[in-house]
Amino acid sequence: MGTVNVIDHPLIAHKLTLMRRKETSTKNFRQLLDEISMLMAYEVLRDFPVQPVDIETPLEATTGNVIDGKKVVLVPILRAGTGILEGMLRVVPGARVGHIGLYRQPKTLVAVEYYFKMPDELHERDIVVIDPMLATGNTARAAIERIKELAPRSIKFVCLLTCPEGIEGLHRAPPDVPIYTAAIDRELDEHGYIRPGLGDAGDRIFGTR
């Protein structure tokens, strides 16, 4: 069973509460998601391995640490995942970006893939899959199973909100990846929405309905 890390910070709780409010505008929703994503990236990368490097400051030679291995890969699940991407890239500007397009069939909520593009040499890279809402877990699990076929060095999953059903759905064998979230809500409703939630994240990010 993978772990669930709730990134519990007053700034994140405050911004998330503003995002949940139905009267929050598209512009503010996007801005808040961007800010939360930056804060979350900091925690998600906390245990990334570093390697020592010899450098010279203007005064003397010393040894510093840099992140080990090839560049991290951020993988937004289209389309809502792109709402988290910009904020994370601001903290990890050298990251590579893969994309995976999956949609949930409205009746069955089963994930169907329509786009998949990853950087090369994934076996030497750490992957961070991003999607704001971990609801049934079907889409996230399908994305992770697909990425696992390319044998990356590690995989983490980052969302803004989840619920017990989403965690259970993602952690159902075989994908066993750590989840990072800003909150675990009460439940999934019969339409596949997280309650109390914040509504449809993609629609709120892009101003569609």
Active site residue 203: yes
Rounded to the nearest angstrom, the gap between the alpha carbon of residue 201 and the centroid of all alpha carbons in its chain is 13
135 binds ligand URA (CB under 6 A): yes
- With contacts defined by CB under 6 A, how many residues of the chain interact with ligand URA? 9
Distance CA 11, CA 14 (A): 5
Instruction: State yes or no: 136 annotated in a binding site.
Output: yes
60 in the Ramachandran plot: left (φ > 0), alpha (ψ -120 to 50) or beta?
beta
140 binds ligand URA (CB under 6 A): no
Active site residue 54: no
Q: Are 86 and 132 in contact (CB under 8 A)?
A: no
206 binds ligand URA (CB under 6 A): no
- Minimum separation from the CB atom of position 191 to ligand URA (A): 9
- Minimum separation from the CB atom of position 14 to ligand URA (A): 20
**Residues with catalytic function:** 104, 108, 200, 203
Contact residues: ligand URA, CB under 6 A: 133, 135, 192-194, 197, 200-202
